[in-house]
Amino acid sequence: MTWDLEAVSLIIQLRNAPHDGHSSSPDHTDPELHLILQAASDITQGVNQDKCLTELQGLTITAYEKMRRATGLGPLTYWREIYSDLCILRAIVEYRQWCLMQAVSTLDHALIIAGASRRLDLVLVIISRIQSKMQPSPHIDSPALDEPSLQVTNIPPSKHLESTIPCISPPSFIAFQSTFSRRPFILRGFARDWPALNNHPWRQAAYLRSIAGPGRVVPVEVGTDYRTDDWNQTIMPWDAFLSTLDFHDQPAQRNGEMLYLAQHDLTIQFPSLRDDIIIPDYVYASLSNSDNPNYRPPANDDHVLFNTWLGPKGTISPAHTDPYFNCYVQVMGQKLVWLAPPSVSESMYPIRSEDTSDGPREGRENSSMSNTSRVDVFSEDLEGEKFPAYINNVMPVAMKATLVPGDMLFFPPGWWHAMKSETSSFSFSFWF
């Protein structure tokens, strides 16, 4: 049996599997499920390929809308699985029609939008199979990577950077858990031994293209600030996105738009990136204490979430709060960080629902942007009459620092924080 038929057979088995407690039980009266099984049968028999592809494309849109509107873990998981299965079947038909780039893009949509729920390994294997039939991108044939160096050109060594965020020596695990986890700090050069800063350099576009292979797509934000009306999200080719950035081995080919890959776990799409990082021991600490008596870590199996942040000079994450502890590592470039304690929340002028004309931004975790401030904390010309409480109560206690490659910033949940890239920047964070 060929690999594509094996994949279709596995989808049929999964769709007929009994309820496991994590998703809704299979209901063969659901039109989507019936059509999935019919499409799988047609693919197996090699008939009705054009009709099958058209139906799968329409079903994918329907499943996406139902996934967005799903409430409760069971229905959400169910529709993620349906969406993932539709993408897999659709990609197999596209592969058979020799639309290889489109097939890889379709599978990446399953990873990006649905996390390829319970199908992650299968999706990655199929991507590899399809890519083996494709010609590499011309960019992958770049000249050999140069010798790595820790510091990016024209960025000062960490010890010469000013910081009002405490810069300390790495505390022991016990000391972190009992004491140091209560306040922000920076560990200068903490990640200098990561492969991502050395023999697997994330500052090299050629390396990032090589680990992805041809045809990959990624989610990006379009616009400088997600609080503005012209902000948007799109999914675009990985190769094209990399071309818009300055790397050590390429100048940027700017297209006039500000593109930012933000709060996305690239290691799901490109698992080899996991080998390029070293997870700090601190993320496994038990941190429920008097400061966070009701704290709940991420609900996934490891209780750790990975996020990547890659964009050009000038990208800004407005001041906001997150519900998790954060170890934030700078891998490439220079980034200015601003922090303020939870105690000043009433003076941060959080965005209320009535402040936005078009409602919450799609894709944001919260139902509103009440965890985001209206204040431009990096502005050198703040309107004092507009934000007097911020001027009087926040500015005296706010802290700033510049992160360069190898630095790790830690801060607890509830702390207001904002980021501004001063060069092309690649950062990696651990929420725990």
**C-alpha–C-alpha distance, residues 429 and 259, integer Å:** 19
Task: Name the residue among 307, 143, 287 with its Cα closest to residue 209.
Answer: 143
Residue 153 has a pLDDT of 41
Angle formed by the axes of helices 3-15 and 73-96, nearest 10°: 160
Residues, the chain, total? 432
Task: Name the residue among 267, 320, 272, 319 with its Cα closest to residue 430.
Answer: 267
298 three-class SS = coil
Which ranges in the chain are annotated with CATH 2.60.120.650? 158-197+262-431
**C-alpha–C-alpha distance, residues 39 and 11, integer Å:** 11
107 three-class SS = helix
Residue 293 has a pLDDT of 77
Note whether 122 and 7 are within 8 A (CB).
yes
Note whether 411 and 326 are within 8 A (CB).
yes
Going from the C-alpha of 301 to that of each of 81, 296, 330, 432, the distances in angstroms are 18, 13, 26, 12
Residue 383 has a pLDDT of 74
**C-alpha–C-alpha distance, residues 266 and 254, integer Å:** 22
Transcribe 129-145 into DSSP letters. Answer: HHHTTSPPPGGGGPPPP
Q: Which residues contact 379 (CB under 8 A, 6 or more apart)?
A: none
Q: Which fold has domain 158-197+262-431?
A: Jelly Rolls (2.60.120)
Residue 354 has a pLDDT of 56
Residue 221 has a pLDDT of 96
Residue 135 has a pLDDT of 78
Residue 151 has a pLDDT of 38
pTM score of the predicted model: 0.89
Note whether 378 and 336 are within 8 A (CB).
yes
pLDDT in tens, the chain (432 residues): 899 999 999 999 988 876 555 554 445 457 778 889 999 999 999 988 899 999 999 999 999 999 999 988 889 999 999 999 999 999 999 999 999 999 999 999 999 999 998 999 999 999 999 999 997 765 544 444 444 443 344 455 665 677 899 999 999 999 999 999 999 999 999 999 999 999 999 999 999 999 999 999 999 999 888 888 788 999 999 999 999 999 999 999 977 889 999 999 999 999 999 999 999 999 999 887 667 778 889 988 899 999 999 999 999 999 999 999 999 999 999 999 999 999 999 999 999 865 554 433 333 444 468 899 999 999 988 877 899 999 999 999 999 999 999 999 999 999 999 999 999 999 999 999
Residue 142 has a pLDDT of 41
Transcribe 382-420 into DSSP letters. Answer: --TTTSHHIIIIITTT-EEEEE-TT-EEEE-TT-EEEEE
